Each structure stands twice: as structure tokens, then as C-alpha cells.
Amino acid sequence: MKILDGKSTSASVKAMIKKQANSLIEVGIKPALAVILVGENKASKTYVNAKEKACKECDIASIIHRLPEQTKQEELLALINVLNIDDSVDAILVQLPLPKHIDEKIVLESIKDSKDVDGFHALNVGKLSSGLDGFVPCTPLGVKVMLDEYGIDVSGLNAVVVGRSNIVGKPMANLLLNANATVTIAHSHTKNLSEICKNADLIVAAIGKPKFITADMVRDKAVVVDVGINRLDDGSLCGDVDYENVSKKASFITPVPGGVGPMTIAMLLSNTIKSATNRAKKLGLK
């Protein structure tokens, strides 16, 4: 069994991103990511701080807008509009979840698709499902990059994605399909999940239930990717896969923490560089 190490893979991706950022800076383009955080969600604050730190490490400017919980939807949309038309901003991210009085869909659709580094805008979703170049959501993109880095060619593999969220499951399935895997998407209404998983060469678990994928659901030598992040009562983190037992059967497996998580932020930086490179190209600087 080999560990798919997100820590070391993301470190080498970040080193490359830093080089790309500096080659953009040399031609007068400072890559910039604007992050909007509304409210006091503790986990969101931690994620935003981690994004800010990662930008700094890679010489990407991060502009953090911390707005109060009671911010009106119109105020948020007005800020997004300012960032949309600001040519010095390459990328815009609205940290989710938003407070309940704000309509997440309207907000995400208001971000200019060419700056939508989270890949949640309908145009980018459509591009991914049509196999066109656009922004791909960071977590599934991180999974695909990690598989590539470890030389795992998914072409022709039976892949099962457990979970069908817009953030992880659906884009993950599209990425795998675009790379010629035979993809099954499972969800809470799926019958015989165990049997379906047992036939898989590759399982991607994005469920949000601790240790849900057990060893009896996994065939020998399967590749197992665990997107889940769950906090247990004792405060420790665990994934959606029963790592201890599944790792005895898998050919490759991601640990939690240290697997998919670190790749997600690296892909956010990578998408920001992609947008900044587009800006440089438009100005004839690249």
C-alpha cells in the first residue's frame, strides 16, 4: 500500500506556483486573490486564514474582506461588483457557508466567471461538463492532480464517487469522466452501495460520515481517495474511510489529515495563477 501524500504533493505544487507568480510579477502582474468572509463562523475564519497564509508563501496578494454577520445581500453583491471590475483583482472567492439571510446561489452567480476560482459559477460548471477549459472546483481538481502526480491513469478504470455535492462529488465525477474513467455516482438513495464499491478500481469518498467506507466494501488493490473531514468527539479528525482497515487492502490511499485537504488550497492558488496569466496574455505581456 502506498500513501497518496497531499502534504508533499501540495508543497511541490506550491513551489511551482511561487515560480509562476514571480515570473508574472517580473512582467508587472501581481497575482491577486480577493476573499470575502461574512460573519463569525469559526471554521470559515480558520480556512480564510489558511488561504491568506498560503498566498503569502507563494507571493500572491490576498485581499481579505471581513464583513459583519448582518451584512445585507445587496451590500455583498455591491462589493463583488467592485471586485469584478477591478483589473488588479484576478480571483474572487466568497467563503461558504453564508449567513442564512443571504442567497448563496445569487451570490455565486454574481462573481465574474473569469475570476471564479472556486469554479462554482454555472458557466464554469458547464465548461467542466462539456470538457472545455474553465475553472474547476479546487477539491476535486486537487484529487485529480494528486492521482496524476502518482502516475495513476484513470482511463478505463471503474470509478465510484460516493457523494454528489456541487462542490465535490459532481465535479469529481466529471473530471474522472473527462479522463475516460467509467464513473458511477452514488448518494444517499443508492441501493447496494457495498456491491457497487466492491466493483470499483477507484473510490472517491465525499460523504461527511466518519469511517463510512469499510474494508468489506473495498476490493483488493483499489485506489481509495478520502475527501471527508469529520471531527470526532475526542477532537481528532478522521475521514469518510476506515483508514486503519481499508489501508490494508488498498493499493493507494489518502490519509486524513494530510491527503486531499492540503491539495485544495494549492489548487486555489493554481487557479489564481491561471487567471493572472490570462490577464497578462490579454495585455500582451505573456
State yes or no: is 248 an active-site residue.
no
Reference 224, options 261, 249, 190, 191; nearest CA is: 249
Q: Which CB sits closer to ligand NAP, 107 or 167? A: 167
The bridge status of strand 223-226 relative to strand 202-205 is: parallel
- Contact yes or no for 233/201 (Cβ under 8 A): no
Reference 104, options 38, 47, 32; nearest CA is: 38
Residue 165 marked ligand-binding: yes
Residue 171 in grid coordinates: 465535479
| Residue 229 contacts ligand NAP per CB under 6 A | yes
Give the helix ranges, DSSP H, for the chain. Answer: 6-26, 42-57, 73-85, 104-110, 122-130, 138-149, 169-178, 193-198, 243-246, 260-282
| Residue 119 contacts ligand NAP per CB under 6 A | no
* DSSP tag of 99: P
Backbone φ and ψ for 125, nearest 5 degrees, come out as: -60, -45
Residue 182 in grid coordinates: 467509467
Find residue 252's DSSP bridge partners. Answer: 2, 223
| Residue 225 contacts ligand NAP per CB under 6 A | no
Instruction: Pick the piece of the chain touching ligand NAP (CB under 6 A) from 14-22, 119-127, 206-214, 272-280.
Output: 206-214
Q: Which of 67, 150, 208, 286 binds ligand NAP (CB under 6 A)?
A: 208
Q: Which CB sits closer to ligand NAP, 46 or 188? A: 188
State yes or no: is 30 an active-site residue.
no
| Residue 169 contacts ligand NAP per CB under 6 A | yes
State yes or no: is 51 an active-site residue.
yes
Residue 219 marked ligand-binding: no
Q: Which CB sits closer to ligand NAP, 24 or 212? A: 212
- Which residue among the candidates 51, 115, 170, 274 is catalytic per the annotation? 51
| Residue 269 contacts ligand NAP per CB under 6 A | no
* Chain residue whose CB lies nearest ligand NAP: 165
Whether the bond between 257 and the residue before it is cis, its omega within 30 degrees of 0, is yes
**N-terminal to C-terminal alpha carbon distance within the chain:** 43
Q: Which of 7, 18, 45, 164 binds ligand NAP (CB under 6 A)?
A: 164
Q: Which of 119, 134, 228, 255 binds ligand NAP (CB under 6 A)?
A: 228
Q: Residues forming the annotated binding site for NADP(+)? A: 163-165, 229
Residues forming the site for ligand NAP (CB under 6 A): 139, 162-165, 167-169, 186-190, 193, 206-209, 227-230, 260-261, 264
Active-site residues, by number, are 51, 95, 118
